[in-house]
Amino acid sequence: MGRQLKQERFALTLPFRTGGEKLLQYIWQLQYFNKSELRTTTGEELEIIFPGKLNTNQGPDFIQARIKIDNTILVGSIELHLKTSHWNDHGHSKDPNYNNVILHVVFEDDEPPASLPVLELQPRISNLLLERYSDLMNSSYFIPCGHSVSQVKEITWLSWKERLVAERLTRKSANVLRLLEESKGHWEETFWWLLARSFGMKVNSDAFESVAKSIPISILGKHKNQIHQVEALLFGQAGLLKGAFAEEYPKLLQREYAFLRKKYDLATVHDSIQFLRMRPGNFPTVRLAQLAALIQNSVHLFSRVLEIEKVTELRKLFGVTANDYWHYHYQFDQASSFKKKVIGSNATNNIIINTIVPVLFAYGALHKEEKYKARAINWLEDLEPEVNFISRGFAALGVETKSAFDSQALIELKTQYCDDKNCLRCAVGNMVLKSQD
């Protein structure tokens, strides 16, 4: 009696739950139901020879399926609904895309027999699976499976993290290739835009990218041997050389910028630079000064990145220090105690992880050079893990991060799966649902 009541409860609640039909697709695709003595709702013997391929385009849920009803083998599509009545509710009877459906699979049969064969799954699906799915969808943990994620075996994590990192880099590569198209295929220019964006950090990323796009890399190359001219271009285009200054250095930059802006007819950048709620070491003035020092060191940065194999060598590329003025300043006209403005280890790691690795991976993907894709992943494995809200959240649940490879995988898991409760597409979620404990 208790089992029957549970089934009736799920029969009532599942159709109204977010993702109910996705769960039904998942159950059908993996055949997670009792297949013994299958019959249609009208009593015909039914055999599932092949459940079909999930259809990601318009039309029935599964295509190219093969079934046997009594002694007749049928080949065609299969449509899934929570209730039989949804076939007509969704207008499928008048839609030619559904003319080749050979079986209607439903969770609950709520209509009299129709001409289309119907298979009801409700009595054949494990209540344990439904209960676990309900727990995941209603979970208020940091991640839906927070109560059981620590029990997932390491072998599952290893293969799943590889998939997550590949998905993350592929998605980031799409943005790199979009910018490459915008730059008309110029890799150095594209890399310059993305590098500048990373120096802007979250608050000023858009503004720094706009500044970079307003100054072609070819112009920077002409002035790279004069650090004050590079700074004049960057600070001027960022709108930080306006007003009256007391000190000689910002006055010099103003004069240089006025000349260079007119010479190159530089476009105005409308994004404003923000200083609020930042530590002085992260002020955009300091970041722009460090970026200028990096440009002085080498304009053709991406070419150098392509030649580097070890992440230790890559770190050295960012071992630059802003010019002497910034050792005593965080902003123009505001003197401070002496402190060299070097690019710190954490900042370097962030640039490598979020900018250099995706660009190198995208380059390898576009040119079908697997060595660059493999190198990008190896760099992630050789870098320390990121410490942030997500890594701390997983650590509290017993999920360890040993490298940037791990932390990037967990960021992808949290943002692309857990936050939207895409547990059915997640290897960890699948293990939780299938567990026999």
Instruction: Decide if pLDDT at 169 tops 80.
Output: yes
Asked whether residue 199 falls in the same domain as residue 287, the answer is yes
Angle at 8 between CA 20 and CA 122, to 5 degrees: 55
State pLDDT tens for residues 269-293. Answer: 999 999 988 999 999 999 999 999 9
pLDDT at 15: 38
Is residue 109 within 8 A of residue 120, CB to CB? The reply is: yes
* Mean pLDDT value of segment 389-393: 96
**C-alpha–C-alpha distance, residues 416 and 231, integer Å:** 39
Give yes or no for residue 121 having a pLDDT over 90. Answer: yes
Is 411 in the same domain as 325?
A: no
Q: Of 113-122, 357-366, 414-423, which gets the smallest average pLDDT?
A: 113-122
The domain in which residue 62 lies consists of 2-138
The reported pTM is 0.88
Average pLDDT, the chain: 93
Average confidence (pLDDT) over 52-63: 95
Residues 212 and 298 in one domain: yes
Query: In one letter, which amino acid is 319?
Result: G
Q: What is the pLDDT of residue 19?
A: 61
Residue where a domain terminates, one of 310, 343, 376: 343
| Residue-level pLDDT at 50 | 98
Domain co-membership, 337 together with 373: no
Judgement on whether residues 178 and 253 belong to the same structural domain of the protein: no
Contacts 24+ apart (CB under 8 A), 220-227: 220/192, 220/295, 220/299, 221/299, 223/260, 224/295, 224/296, 224/299, 225/296, 227/292, 227/293, 227/296, 227/323
Q: What pLDDT is recorded for position 4?
A: 53
pLDDT tens per residue, range 201-227: 999 999 999 999 999 999 999 999 999
Whether 81 has a pLDDT exceeding 50, the answer reads yes
Q: Are residues 82 and 43 in the same domain?
A: yes
281 and 380 assigned to the same domain:
no
Q: Say yes or no to pLDDT of 12 above 70.
A: no
Tell whether the model's pLDDT for residue 360 goes beyond 80: yes
Of 322, 343, 364, which one is at a domain's C-terminal end? Answer: 343
Q: Are residues 288 and 317 in the same domain?
A: yes
115 pLDDT band, cuts 50/70/90, is confident
Q: Do both 195 and 269 map to the same domain?
A: yes
| Local structure of 74: helix, strand or coil | strand
Q: Do residues 88 and 149 both lie within one domain? A: no
Query: Would you say residue 17 has pLDDT above 80?
Result: no
Q: Among 138, 167, 196, give the residue marking a domain's end.
A: 138
Q: Is the pLDDT of residue 323 over 60?
A: yes
Specify burial of residue 133 (Cβ count, 10 A radius: 0-12, 13-18, 19+): buried
* Same domain, yes or no: 241 and 176: no
Split into its structural domains, the chain has a count of 3
Of the ranges 93-97, 247-251, 354-358, which one carries the lowest mean pLDDT score? 93-97
pLDDT for residue 436 is more than 90: no
Joined tokens for residue 150 = 């620590």
pLDDT band at 1 (very low <50, low <70, confident <90, very high): very low
Q: Does residue 145 share a domain with residue 134?
A: no
